[in-house]
Amino acid sequence: MTTYISNYVNQAPELIGLLIKLALSMLSGSLIGFERGRHGRSAGLRTHILVCLGATMAAMTDLHLNTMIGSDGTRIAANVLTGVGFLGAGVILIKRDFTVKGLTTAAGLWATSIIGLCYGYGFCEIPLITTGVLLLIFALLPYMESTQKAEVNIYLEIDQLTAVNTVMGALHDTCPLMLNIEVTAPLSGDSTHIGIRLRTIGRNARKIKDPFALLTEIRKIEHVVFAVMD
């Protein structure tokens, strides 16, 4: 079973074999592209189909040239991966808060191009299985990641520099789960104030059942001018 499809494609008449490779490539590109497109990603159905088909065509051209003139059978494939790397860079965005968006889409395009290359070289089972694995990853992993993305951020300002140590001690007593405490410049613009950011993620953030109740307790600490969810 593991080689039946590949043997059939490779032993079929040349035109039929080429058409089967292109059809399988289009199938994989369509499935992956549809999944990405329905979530509103920048690279959707058409992009993934074109990447997969293009990679398949490149691999088939590579095999043809190798048969005709004995060319190096790795150069075209290597250049396909390089080209898709530039394409992937176009879907990666760095937002104003310096978070990066689009890495999964770029990696998906890169993986799709390799699937297309496999079809073009006549390996049909592996890319079919990989297509299923990619769809499983795209479908299930977001739910797993969402359990790790819980986050609580609080920003507060105190009225004087000399009160930093006192307030820090009170914060550790009031909110021991806020593991990351950072002293910053005041956002209010008042030069006499000191800004403090509190942050926790993951398991500790999920333990905070009511962040706004915690915010109320922080506001009661002496020297705290104001506190808000950041």
Residue with tokens 């089967």: 20
All structural domains of the chain: 4-146 (no CATH), 151-229 (3.30.70.260)
Give the Cα separation of 51 and 87 in Å (integer). Answer: 10
What pLDDT is recorded for position 2?
Answer: 47
Q: Which of 118, 125, 49 is nearest to 81 (CA)?
A: 118
Give me the residues paired with residue 152 across strands.
Answer: 200
User: How far is C-alpha 208 from the chain's CA centre?
Assistant: 27
pLDDT reported for residue 96: 58
Position 30 scores a pLDDT of 92
Provide the token pair at 111.
Answer: 């993986």
The pLDDT tens digits for 137-180 are 888 876 666 655 667 888 889 988 888 888 888 888 887 766 67
For 26, 50, 149, 189, 219, the CA distances from 182, given in Å and listed in that order, are: 51, 47, 20, 17, 17
What's the pLDDT score for residue 114?
92
Regions of the chain where pLDDT drops below 70: 1-5, 8-12, 70-73, 94-99, 142-150, 177-179, 202-203, 206
